[in-house]
Amino acid sequence: MVKNENLLEKLTMEVKQLAFQAGASLVGVVSADVYDSLPKVWISWKVQDYSKKAVELMAESKSIIVLGYHVWDDMLELAVRKGEGWVYPGYSPLEVITRTVENFLEKLGFKAVSAQGLSYKRLAQLAGFGCYGKNTLIINPVFGPWIRLAAVLTDAKLVADEPFTRDLCVDCEECVKACPVGALSPYKIDVNKCLVGVRLLGKGETKNDEMFRLYEPAFTENAHLMCLECQKACRYGRSIHSSLKLRL
């Protein structure tokens, strides 16, 4: 029994070390059972479906490795149009980190798949990364909301982390006040108003032209920054984030 526990701890440590070496800023583990015991959440944008349970992606799921990547500069908030879709340079490092973790586990004989379709925000809170903030983003005490998330599902049993239970927002509502289109109320977002979603779906271009010019500056015909106002307003992570120097 003790030997098994030591092995679990060793494997968990190795996976975490590897993810950090591959560039992750935060790494945590959530038990697949714990995640699956919570109700599904409705994804009201593009997908229009409930989030998946871990067992739907992998019947033998035991652990979910949650990965966080610190986006320390506004330039990592670019969205670049490619044909009918979009490329997000700030998210690309997570693909490499995810693949590295998957390869490592597969070489050891475990199953490992990217946890597409799960609620990453819920996973991040369960992995101890931070709280679900009033801007509806996960806020980490060090990086603030400036983290991007991914997750790997595996049949390897790993040692789970403790969930994050502190409330970092308390009575602060700066993000709600900062949203230029009034898309936020505490802990809720109106996806039909948020400039990021409206722009990426290609809806409301004419109606929002001036808002896009001010809050989603374009650099080329294809590339624009996603609106940053609800993240900038957050007092966490601000001192280690560099902002656009252009005057808009």
The residue range among 16-24, 52-60, 128-136, 206-214 that interacts with ligand B12, by the rule CB under 6 A, is 128-136
If one asks whether residue 191 binds ligand B12 (CB under 6 A), the answer comes out as: yes
As measured in angstroms, the least distance from the Cβ of 216 to ligand B12 is: 10
Task: Provide, rounded to whole angstroms, the least separation between the CB of residue 146 and ligand B12.
Answer: 7
Cβ atoms < 10 Å from Cβ of 159: 15
Q: Please identify which residue in 65, 137, 152, 233 interacts with ligand B12, judged by CB under 6 A.
A: 137
Contacts of 175 (CB under 8 A, 6+ apart): 133, 134, 135, 184, 229, 230, 231, 233, 234
* Residue 55 CB-density burial (10 A; 0-12 exposed, 13-18 middle, 19+ buried): middle
State yes or no: residue 125 binds ligand B12 (CB under 6 A).
yes
Establish if 25 lies at the interface with ligand B12 (CB under 6 A): no
Q: What share of the chain is helix, strand, coil (3-state, %, to 5)?
A: 35, 20, 45
In Å, the largest CA–CA distance within the chain is 65
> Interface with ligand B12 includes 212 (CB under 6 A)?
no
By CB neighbour count within 10 A (0-12 exposed, 13-18 middle, 19+ buried), where does 109 fall? exposed
Interface mask toward ligand B12 for 213-232; x: CB under 6 A: -------------x---xx-
Is 45 near ligand B12 (CB under 6 A)?
yes
CA-to-CA distance for 206 and 77, rounded, in angstroms?
Answer: 23
Q: Does 122 contact ligand B12 by CB under 6 A?
A: yes
Cβ proximity to ligand B12, 8 vs 58, nearer residue: 58
Closer to ligand B12 at the Cβ: 35 or 132? 132
Residues numbered 63 to 82 that lie near ligand B12 (CB under 6 A) are: 77
Q: Is residue 97 within the footprint of ligand B12 (CB under 6 A)?
A: no
- For residue 1, the tally of other CB atoms under 10 A from its CB is 5
Nearer to ligand B12, 159 or 178 (CB): 178
Strands annotated E in 21-103: 26-31, 42-43, 49-50, 63-70, 78-82, 85-87
Residues that bind ligand B12 (CB under 6 A): 41-43, 45, 77, 119-122, 125, 132, 135-138, 145, 147-150, 187, 189, 191, 194, 196-197, 200, 226, 230-231
